[in-house]
Amino acid sequence: MKILVRNLARSTTEEELNVLFQAFGQVQSCSLIIDSVSKESKGFGFVEMPRPGEAKAAMKNLNKKEVAGNTIRVKKAEDKSI
């Protein structure tokens, strides 16, 4: 399941995000969206978890959690295929 994580502190790293989600199960991939000009995080990213039960537990427990001074928002990523 692909999960969208928003309102991340610009200082949050992929490793920190990975550790946060690993507390709830296996993380398949983790990526922050980086601005191509400034090379800094845009404040959101995606986490993929192969087991739906673990992904749902992570979403439920991490949504509205404070991380590095920011209250993050976590939800299932919408499929943007056209």
Each residue's pLDDT tens digit, 29-77 = 999 999 999 999 999 999 999 999 999 999 999 999 999 999 999 999 9
Q: pTM (2 decimals)?
A: 0.92
Residue 79: band (very low, low, confident or very high) from pLDDT cuts 50, 70, 90: confident
Domains of the chain by start residue, with CATH: 2-75 (3.30.70.330)
CA 49 – CA 1 distance, rounded (Å): 5
**Greatest pairwise CA separation for the chain in angstroms:** 37
In 3-state terms, the chain is what percent helix, strand and coil (to 5)?
25, 35, 45
- Sign of the C-alpha dihedral computed for residues 16, 18, 25 and 70 taken in this order: positive
